[in-house]
Amino acid sequence: GAVVSQHPSRVICKSGTSVKIECRSLDFQATTMFWYRQFPKQSLMLMATSNEGSKATYEQGVEKDKFLINHASLTLSTLTVTSAHPEDSSFYICSAKSTDTQYFGPGTRLTVL
Amino acid sequence: GDSVTQMEGPVTLSEEAFLTINCTYTATGYPSLFWYVQYPGEGLQLLLKATKADDKGSNKGFEATYRKETTSFHLEKGSVQVSDSAVYFCALIYSNYQLIWGAGTKLIIKP
């Protein structure tokens, strides 16, 4: 089946720094990727839709200047959390669309100290 | 708007028990329906899916049937194992391939 990878799997950073998370579709091309955030004991929250070669579409309430998304190729999308703060600590998951199914990455645990 | 409602957890069962996790949805069209599973410390995995009414998705002993008349997609397994302990998410894909999620149901299987 289709495989999506994320890097890094865990990252710890200091408050005020920026962190980049990569999402790759390993064996298929994805014109559309999605970024989700999962809060403890809650379901996933869609943050943005990433379209290759164009600007990402952000969900209401998500700060586009804080969560920068770049989808530069058909197999790679990146999420950069700028000027991270402790409240940004969370589990970030990406997915890539193949036909009518989304395939999820393993997630990135971000801890901001 | 579209929504997905799952039974609240945690659901605690003994090994070899029968499992049902209820999922109902509201949608203005004809979405595809999915069950995803998240094992402890891991990312989400597609468990099964059904793309149209009356379709049955199945995988790893789990089954779910797309019931349009009851707007349901209940997950069932005849005999659960400790290794099935995880969080299960019901979801529908409707417009623009964005998933609408249920809140997830934590399943705990005791030996």
| pLDDT tens, N- to C-terminus, chain A (113 residues) | 678 899 999 999 999 999 999 999 998 998 889 999 987 666 778 899 988 888 899 988 999 999 999 988 899 999 999 999 999 999 999 999 887 677 888 889 999 99
What pLDDT does residue B8 have? 84
User: Among A46, A105, A106, whose Cβ lies nearest the Cβ of B98?
Assistant: A46
What pLDDT does residue A51 have? 87
User: Among A6, A44, A97, whose Cβ lies nearest the Cβ of B101?
Assistant: A44
Distance CA A69, CA A55 (A): 8
Contacts (Cβ under 8 Å, ≥6 apart) of A99: none
CB-based contact B64:B77 (threshold 8 Å) = no
What pLDDT does residue A104 have? 87
**B95 and chain A: CB distance < 8 Å anywhere?**
no
What pLDDT does residue B102 have? 87
Are B46 and A104 within 8 A, CB to CB? Answer: yes
- Measure A5 CA to nearest chain B CA, in Å: 10
What pLDDT does residue A1 have? 64
Contacts (Cβ under 8 Å, ≥6 apart) of A85: A15, A16, A112
A-chain CB neighbours of B99 within 8 Å are: 34, 44, 46, 102
User: Among A32, A42, A102, whose Cβ lies nearest the Cβ of B103?
Assistant: A42
Are B101 and A1 within 8 A, CB to CB? Answer: no
* Buried/exposed code over B37-64 (b: 16+ C-beta within 10 A; e: otherwise): bbeeeebbbbbbbbeeeeeebeeeebbb
> Which tokens hold the place of A19?
């962190």
Q: What share of chain A is helix, strand, coil (3-state, %, to 5)?
A: 5, 55, 40
Alpha helices in A1-113 (DSSP H): none
Encode pLDDT of B39-58 as tens digits.
887 778 889 999 889 999 99
What pLDDT does residue B100 have? 82
What pLDDT does residue B5 have? 93
Distance CA A66, CA A43 (A): 22
Q: Which residues in chain B show pLDDT less than 70?
A: 94-98
